[in-house]
Structure 1
């Protein structure tokens, strides 16, 4: 029966000296497994639970998988592929109901099905696995990133064992292929990051990036890419590519010989020991300076190559003109976004990428990408600092609402088009963020994602002009979302405009974004100078995300990730600052509007006055609240929490993080550590167009990797880098137990995600730990890469998590400002 069930179609494609065999599947099994993933730390996945605990049985047709919530039996069922080899299962809504939004956000069962396939190999060999569709997959028990958006570029090197090889894919529509007899090193051309050659610019060395897979059983650390364009050659050493892995690699090419528009052949040679391991030809386009174009840059987030798109100012950019930052919708490329705009005679349009067409919903690393592009565009185009504007469509409409509320002093005006304000209300592809919970652990997790609840930050729009555009026939993002925010603004906002386009669907032509009234609205809005703003009213959920508004900075909170607010009034005539604060422990005030030797009186929260005599005309004063009194702090301990390093766990994946894998355990534990690191790297690549260095604990030398965040995989007994980095941390993980201050749990199936500060005041250590291989396998799921998901500073859980959701979490919460465990900010299991 199994031989018949997993029939393989073999397609042979000749490739130079290699004859690649592409295997497609005709038959498979599927099960409505009830797995639930979304934008939360909590997930449920019975199959992953069984796999981690070694209890998953080889599926067979009509065989029992598990029992449902009401005792009903759930069976594997046979399915057939269509003519293209695609398997589709249309059971997208849950058969189990629950009132817990963490288990069933929005009532939608996203990816509840698993599809099972197997292939019998006559020998041990390496291959490329390419599964289009699906969220996560397990190949012979090893987790890999899926391809939920059907992009097609996940070419995952795998090792086939002799005999039966098993593939489990979580998803409802997949096109799986196994490619045999592949070259050890392959250049893939279906996921390029390339700039345009702009004729009017001085084009010398430009940067591109391409994906390379290494299906050999050796790490490759001495590879180079040689490029040839119009007779000009350039050679670039590329970063190490681990065995059985893929990586996006940066290369240089010389465009100095290109002087006319058109498409040019760019030859890419992958060199190993000076010999060509693979060769591909790409097309790179040269455009006029008046056309929209792509421009690449190296991201400070992870050192990867990203791009932004530009629609130039009419007649060429001129200093002191306007700058319009545009953020795109889901599935839209930044260059497509830029091309939707006609050139403006008074400014330049810059379109950020969110790192991918879907990326992070303009939150988390998408938010950081927007800020990176904003700073790069300001440096390049030298705009009038008073004329910076923000706009976007669909998911980019959400990005506009979110970035506008999070950084209100960066924009003169914002214009969300066809957007939704909050992921709690709309959700998008990964589902909604739950709105609330009665469970203390779930409340703590939701608190870590407070930045996504945009309506709670709506007061920040008060100093901005806001123009809302929405089609009244929009069925993708219904107009009710625009009306919701119109109602919110109407209660307090003195300066917003609202227009519903009659009969307008989600996209009604380029005017869906390039709407003339928006730019007319922008024209009569300017960012006021800080000297002209004497009243501040600002809310943030975290100083690590947004700390400063004008001349005030929220340096530390009392309750981490709860909303903090400052309402301040500055009176230069009387030399006073008065106001009130909420959830703030440390506050910095720039006294730049007071001359030297001025006696300034500060009164906050109706507490005792603070009197201070300025030393210069640019003093900065730091105040700390202690025992219900504000007092001046002369020295700030930079090792404590601060806006550069405030938490949460997701913050560890910044500052060019490096993954350090433990190798000092038994073979199973070491392999689980490596599997997890490679899965995270694949997910980072897929979701964030990123690239990560993965090294072993043996290779780790602190001085060599200074200035970078570190992600440790393993525990104190199997990762030799642990002791030097985490010896003072109150959370410790061994092979048999986890301790967190006074709390202790024993077992071989425990896991933890947490952070700990490095000596550098902006850097962190992220820890992905398990007490044993089972614990590490339970930690495989990387929900922290889902845009908007909330992860506190630490989270300790057992193998019950994928089976029982929040009941499997032992402890979660936040360190206090001194990086100490504080029971006030901890939630634990009953």
Structure 2
């Protein structure tokens, strides 16, 4: 049965219109097949699988795939405006990877009827060590089923947006949410004035970060036992380099969503807390947040519940009932993310790593090593590859429509050479110059974000040095560690080069 569904999906994958949704269904079925084989040693799925959550999840996934195939065969739209619990996908504009999310649409939904509220349920950060499609959130069908029943009862669309990387307050996480909401808008007609962000534990911190990036866009925040700060995933060696810098400490304190919320005083927040253990949405964190909110005259309602009651679905039901009543006012909400002039932000839009090939053989080899490391680091945190192109392969439209990560220098990278005079950066044997800045010394390396000369809405990231054989970079995981606009590195140790200067946005 499963083999037949997978084969039929392969036949219709040529439908570009349905490519992402079908691929996500197929990928999830393959994961479920592996689960089944581990239990029974057989990939032939019996028709009667009932009882356990994973079994019911498997049946639901099979039904979702088979129903889509039947609709396509009959010439019907297989995905849009469909009620029920579904796993869906989209191709990310950032790096071209296939991303997924889960959604429940109540039976009261109608394409032409009244728009329903959308509740966005964020995951907890600690359970996000695998891609979302293979995460505990997807595997826990029982919880999804129960939450779906509450969404049906309250007449709301419930969205599990998933994540691109293990959450740590990175700009990429809110960029991912934006892509999910855009994908969802193509399939369902929800009320954009009634989007409420929900979360338990560290899921609340993710919601706070979204509010910081989109002030005024969301109608409310509903939390169960919230934590308000996400742990950094930056390695100790990298962190220790930056901690000595005042710019990093200032950025680290300012980036937290709580400060942004208290400054903007919107939207309303409803919190249920059971006084649980430290580190897991403890009462101290909620009361501290409530106290700061009152001092800032921000709208927060904290409700205490017995532990047995708060950990029951009744608490989620209460949060949903509150969320249904929330509506974004005419506060001039920002419908596009706030932008930042740093490395992280440059990698939250469509980008391509441009590998220089115009140098001598040793230079090209060293550039290859840097590019390979960039690819490795991206795959490590984002569960998939990033786009890479050689300098002579890049098309003219890519130059103006994508953010570029240029690796090498003006003599070894053809695109860097083409744009050199307009980038405002000079890399010489004994110094690096950029604007009013000059850094003297041999073997220096630079990481820098500058506006694209032909399109100021696009960015160019420069990663290079004059002598690439001695160029050292404290990090090449710029999505995770790139809080800065410019970093200049000395030769130093291979694992921990000297940080000469760092400039924040």
Higher strand share: 1
Q: Which residue of 2 aligns with 1:221?
A: none
1:718 to 387, 412, 420: 412
1:472 to 275, 282, 288: 275
Aligned 8 A contact 2:450 2:460 in 1: yes
Aligned 8 A contact 1:472 1:500 in 2: yes
**1:729 Cα deviation after fit:** 2.7
**1:310 Cα deviation after fit:** 0.2
Q: Which residue of 2 aligns with 1:605?
A: none
Q: Which residue of 2 aligns with 1:459?
A: 262
TM-score normalized by the length of structure 2: 0.74
SS across alignment from 1:483: helix
Higher mean C-alpha deviation, range 408-417 or range 708-717: 408-417
Instruction: Write the distance in 2 (CA, Å) between the matches of 1:350 and 1:727.
Output: 47
Instruction: Write the distance in 2 (CA, Å) between the matches of 1:719 and 1:348.
Output: 49
Q: Which residue of 1 aligns with 2:456?
A: 761
**1:385 Cα deviation after fit:** 3.4
SS across alignment from 1:473: coil
Aligned 8 A contact 1:473 1:502 in 2: no
SS across alignment from 2:210: helix
1:525 to 305, 313, 326: 326
> Which structure 1 segments of 5+ residues have no match?
1-196, 198-226, 238-249, 268-279, 534-548, 554-642, 816-830
Instruction: Write the distance in 2 (CA, Å) between the matches of 1:484 and 1:474.
Output: 15
Q: Which residue of 2 aligns with 1:352?
A: 161
Instruction: Write the distance in 1 (CA, Å) between the matches of 2:207 and 2:414.
Output: 45
Aligned 8 A contact 2:20 2:88 in 1: no
Higher RCO (CA-CA < 8 Å; seq separation 6+): 2
SS across alignment from 1:361: coil
Instruction: Write the distance in 1 (CA, Å) between the matches of 2:424 and 2:475.
Output: 24
1:482 matched to 2:289? The reply is no
Larger Rg: 1
**1:757 Cα deviation after fit:** 1.5
Aligned 8 A contact 1:362 1:399 in 2: yes
Instruction: Write the distance in 1 (CA, Å) between the matches of 2:466 and 2:146.
Output: 52
Q: Which residue of 2 aligns with 1:383?
A: 190
Aligned 8 A contact 1:324 1:389 in 2: yes
Question: Equivalences for 1:10-409 in 2 at 5 Å?
Answer: 228-229=7-8, 232=11, 234=13, 285-287=62-64, 291-316=84-109, 319-330=114-125, 331-332=127-128, 333=135, 335=138, 336=140, 338-339=144-145, 341=147, 342=149, 343-344=151-152, 345-356=154-165, 358=166, 360-409=167-216
Instruction: Write the distance in 2 (CA, Å) between the matches of 1:419 and 1:652.
Output: 30
Question: Equivalences for 1:576-591 in 2 at 5 Å?
Answer: none
**1:457 Cα deviation after fit:** 1.6
Q: Which residue of 1 aligns with 2:132?
A: none
Aligned 8 A contact 1:390 1:413 in 2: yes
Q: Which residue of 2 aligns with 1:16?
A: none
SS across alignment from 1:517: helix
Instruction: Write the distance in 2 (CA, Å) between the matches of 1:804 and 1:230.
Output: 48
Aligned 8 A contact 1:229 1:266 in 2: no
Note closer, same or farther for the CA distance 1:448–1:374 as it changes in structure 2 (3 Å cut): same
**1:661 Cα deviation after fit:** 1.3
Q: Which residue of 2 aligns with 1:170?
A: none
Question: Equivalences for 1:667-816 in 2 at 5 Å?
Answer: 667-703=361-397, 705-734=399-428, 736-740=430-434, 741-748=436-443, 750-758=444-452, 759-776=454-471, 778-779=472-473, 781-786=475-480, 789=481, 791-800=483-492, 808-813=498-503
Instruction: Write the distance in 1 (CA, Å) between the matches of 2:22 and 2:187.
Output: 21
* Number of corresponding residues: 440
SS across alignment from 2:99: strand
Deviations 1:450-502 (A, max 9, x none): 55233322324523220123342234435122222122112234632213443
Note closer, same or farther for the CA distance 1:771–1:784 as it changes in structure 2 (3 Å cut): same
Instruction: Write the distance in 1 (CA, Å) between the matches of 2:381 and 2:496.
Output: 27
Instruction: Write the distance in 2 (CA, Å) between the matches of 1:736 and 1:339.
Output: 64
Please, what is the CA RMSD of the aligned residues? Answer: 4.2
Deviations 1:57-114 (A, max 9, x none): xxxxxxxxxxxxxxxxxxxxxxxxxxxxxxxxxxxxxxxxxxxxxxxxxxxxxxxxxx
SS across alignment from 1:692: coil
Instruction: Write the distance in 2 (CA, Å) between the matches of 1:790 and 1:449.
Output: 12
TM-score normalized by the length of structure 1: 0.47
Higher helix share: 2
Q: Which residue of 2 aligns with 1:8?
A: none
Note closer, same or farther for the CA distance 1:675–1:452 as it changes in structure 2 (3 Å cut): same
Note closer, same or farther for the CA distance 1:509–1:676 as it changes in structure 2 (3 Å cut): farther
